Amino acid sequence: APRVRIPHLQQMKERGEKWAMLTAYDMYTAAIFEDAGIPVLLIGDSASNNVFGNDSLLPVTVDELMPLVRAVSRCTRRPLVIADLPFGSYQASPEQCFHTAVRFMKEGGAHAVKLEGGIEMVPQVRKLVSCGIPVMAHIGFTPQSEHQLGGFRVQGRGEDGARLIEEARALEAAGAFAVLMEMVPGAVAAQITAALKIPTVGIGAGSDCDAQVLVWQDMAGLRTGKLPRFVKQYADMHGLLQKAAREFAEEVGAGTFPGPEHTF
Ligand code: KIV
Ligand code: NA
């Protein structure tokens, strides 16, 4: 199948076909998700927590994300590969944003980038788009601003809903190819999805968005403990891997692995 490109996502919106997006940070997961037909893969700055073991998104750097972007783009042929711009790598100016995005495309092989923010990011979005770099905008709860926002909480409730709609419209007008909405009331996300010509991607934003995204370790049940309400676990990867590791250790302990068939 040919590479998924932005016009395909646009056509899916026009046909009312919903699509799924997942994060991916390495070769095997990216290849598996491609085989499963996932059209868009995101190397999220959520790698900060889910790969590098930080307890927030803030510490992860462009240099840390770069090899993950390269791995995903190298081993996939069909999905659109989006690199997430990490905290501090684009907010200062459109020029800073441009240089970071170019690195992810030239060194990482990404096809597009994602950045967090509303009206204040319009100059960044315009700059990238004018240089041929497709941008997905991320609004609503924007985790890189967790300290400013006062923690993980739903955005766009009540009167803030109108502001969110204005932000989405401004980002579309600036040239964003899609708007991702995180932790937004379903009714507001539905209104934005109806108002925009470009696709919307939801996470904790109800079922009316044009697409849905989840962090793969959440979706596959690798991460355990208290999960956000918007997560659905489609597998028990944690249990599966733990069982495999335990059995391996048991067999080594018992002397039953390696067997004759594994021995030269
Ligand atoms: O970094 C990430 O994984 C994201 C998704 C939650 C959309 O931004
Ligand atoms: Na992110």
Average pLDDT for 173-192: 98
pLDDT value at residue 189: 98
Residue 25 tokens, joined: 């940070």
Look up 182 and say whether it is catalytic.
yes
How far apart (Å, rounded) are the C-alpha atoms in residues 137 and 141? 12
Of 120, 166, 182, 261, which residue is the catalytic one?
A: 182
Average pLDDT for 106-114: 98
Q: What's the mean pLDDT when you consider all of the chain?
A: 97
Residue 163 tokens, joined: 């502001």
Q: Residue 244: pLDDT band by 50, 70, 90 thresholds?
A: very high
Q: What is the whole-number distance in angstroms between the Cα of residue 243 and the centre of ligand 2?
A: 31
Distances (CA, A) of 190 to 47, 171, 206, 211: 29, 17, 8, 12
Top mutation candidate among 203, 219, 232 for ligand 1, by most atoms within 8 Å of CB? 203
Q: What is the whole-number distance in angstroms between the Cα of residue 46 and the centre of ligand 2?
A: 5
Q: Is the pLDDT of residue 30 over 90?
A: yes
Q: What is the whole-number distance in angstroms between the Cα of residue 194 and the centre of ligand 1?
A: 23
44 lines ligand 1 (CB under 6 A): yes
Q: Residue 46: pLDDT band by 50, 70, 90 thresholds?
A: very high
How far apart (Å, rounded) are the C-alpha atoms in residues 40 and 42? 7
Backbone CA torsion sign across 186, 144, 96, 109: negative
| % of the chain with per-residue pLDDT over 90 | 98
pLDDT value at residue 51: 98
Phi, psi for 148 (deg, rounded to 5) = -70, -40
pLDDT value at residue 106: 98
Q: Is the pLDDT of residue 238 over 90?
A: yes
Average pLDDT for 254-259: 98
pLDDT value at residue 90: 98
Average pLDDT for 215-234: 96
Residue 40: name the closest of 121, 134, 144 by CA: 134
Q: Is 230 exposed, middle or buried (0-12, 13-18, 19+ CB in 10 A)?
A: middle
ipTM: 0.99
pLDDT value at residue 141: 97
Task: Write the residue with the smallest CA distance to atom 1 of ligand 1.
Answer: 44
CB atoms within 10 A of CB 52: 14
Ordered by where they begin, the domains of the chain are: 6-233 (3.20.20.60), 236-264 (no CATH)
Q: Residue 102: pLDDT band by 50, 70, 90 thresholds?
A: very high
Distances (CA, A) of 44 to 22, 164, 194, 248, 254: 9, 22, 26, 32, 42
Q: Is the pLDDT of residue 5 over 90?
A: yes
Atom of ligand 1 at shortest range from CA of 57: 1
Average pLDDT for 178-195: 98
Distance between alpha carbon 182 and the CA centroid of its chain, in Å? 11
pLDDT value at residue 1: 82
pLDDT value at residue 252: 98
| % of the chain with per-residue pLDDT over 70 | 100
Top mutation candidate among 21, 56, 180, 218 for ligand 1, by most atoms within 8 Å of CB? 180
